[in-house]
Amino acid sequence: MVNLFVSKKKHKKHPEEASQAKKEDTPKDDNLLHNIRAATLHALSNGWVQNSGVAFLLAVIALIIAMETRSQIKSAAIGFAAIGSIALWIFALVVIRYAAAKDIVVTTKFLALNTTEQAKHPGPFWIKYKSPLGDTVSPLPVLMYIVIHNSQATPEKIATLRVSMQAKGDEWLQLMHVDAHEGQIFWIYDDFKKARQLEDPTTMLDFILGSSIPANSSVEGWLYFTTSQEYPCSPGTWMRFKFFLKDTSGKTMECPTEFNVIKKDMSSNRSEGYGENIAIKVIGPPVDLSHCAFKFWTGGVIGVPDK
């Protein structure tokens, strides 16, 4: 294990240059129906709801018996109405509580950014994969280590996860996810003949989220992203993220983070960011990637003079 918490050679700030970020799509109002449905399903597993439901069922049976025997009808009707009202209020309150609760919490423990002048300074993190060009490597300008906590009493299966970022005073930019299933992740420090492969499926969220998150538990790991355009963020920039998640029931969740300042002189070189000093796992001996084609994940060949 080695600790890599790298910071990039400083770029000049561009105070007059406004980044043209994409405006992200916001969840539509019809997502409310999915949220209510999911909250209702969760409420049905609640002990108070189940017990009040049993009491209401017994009240119904008592009313039917009273009507059949023509005795104690008034008492049975009053009991039916009272228990039914109580059961309905309990069910409604539990549904409201579950619908309003923050079922999923996302925390960013580490962030490395290299979204400024990517052609000149592609950064130290790359993915190697097969493309029409043969063996190909592309830079990964956004590297995140996040924790996803499921605060519910039931397991949660994430079907969709999208991430957007925003520099303070700028527009949101939706990041493009680079699935770790597509290839191998490498760390390259100047020499492409000595690339080091990083991590394995046990530490990558693309693999981890293939399974449900257990009840009242957390999962954590690495996610990799690229951008569709330059997004200047010099040290000192305040940055925040927004995580949009949808589970397999269709319920949607939005988890924004607080603003954090992008730090300078984090340690060695090549990326700016913030967070804890997370240990990055290096796998095996150095690998020669100098024979690979070099291109951006979104297209466009990169000229790499020192490969």
- Structure confidence by residue, pLDDT tens digits, 65-89: 888 888 888 888 888 899 989 989 9
Distance, in Å, from the CA atom of 177 to the CA atom of 226, rounded to the nearest integer, reads 7
- Residue 23 CB neighbours (<10 A): 10
Q: Residue 270: what pLDDT?
A: 46
Which residue type is seen at 22?
K
Sequence-ordered list of residues with C-beta below 8 angstroms from that of 190, at least 6 positions apart, any chain: 306
Which residue type is seen at 110?
F
Greater model confidence, 116 or 190 = 190
| pLDDT grade for 299, boundaries at 50, 70 and 90 | low
Please check whether residue 222 is in contact with residue 156, taking contact to mean a CB–CB distance below 8 angstroms: no
**Domains of the chain by residue range:** 2-11+21-27+103-294, 44-100
Which residue type is seen at 251?
K
- Residue 79 CB neighbours (<10 A): 17
The tens digit of pLDDT for each residue in 183-233 reads 999 998 878 999 999 988 899 999 999 999 998 889 999 999 998 888 877
Q: Reduced to 3 states, what is the DSSP secondary structure of residue 242?
A: strand
Q: Residue 45: what pLDDT?
A: 57
Distance, in Å, from the CA atom of 228 to the CA atom of 175, rounded to the nearest integer, reads 8
Query: What is the CB-side half-sphere exposure of residue 241 using CA atoms within 13 A?
Result: 26
Q: Residue 298: what pLDDT?
A: 73
| 20, pLDDT greater than 50 | no
What's the whole-number mean pLDDT along residues 105-118? 81
Greater model confidence, 41 or 229 = 229
Q: Which residues pair with 166 in a beta bridge?
A: 172, 240
Q: Residue 14: what pLDDT?
A: 43
What's the whole-number mean pLDDT along residues 274-287? 82
| 107, pLDDT greater than 70 | yes
Greater model confidence, 294 or 18 = 294
Please check whether residue 117 is in contact with residue 157, taking contact to mean a CB–CB distance below 8 angstroms: no
What's the whole-number mean pLDDT along residues 48-52? 82
Distance, in Å, from the CA atom of 198 to the CA atom of 256, rounded to the nearest integer, reads 28
Which residue type is seen at 253?
M
Distance, in Å, from the CA atom of 142 to the CA atom of 202, rounded to the nearest integer, reads 20
Query: What is the CB-side half-sphere exposure of residue 124 using CA atoms within 13 A?
Result: 21
From residue 136, how far is each of 176, 185, 302 by CA, in Å?
A: 18, 12, 11
Greater model confidence, 117 or 237 = 237
What's 202's DSSP letter?
G
What's the whole-number mean pLDDT along residues 299-307? 48
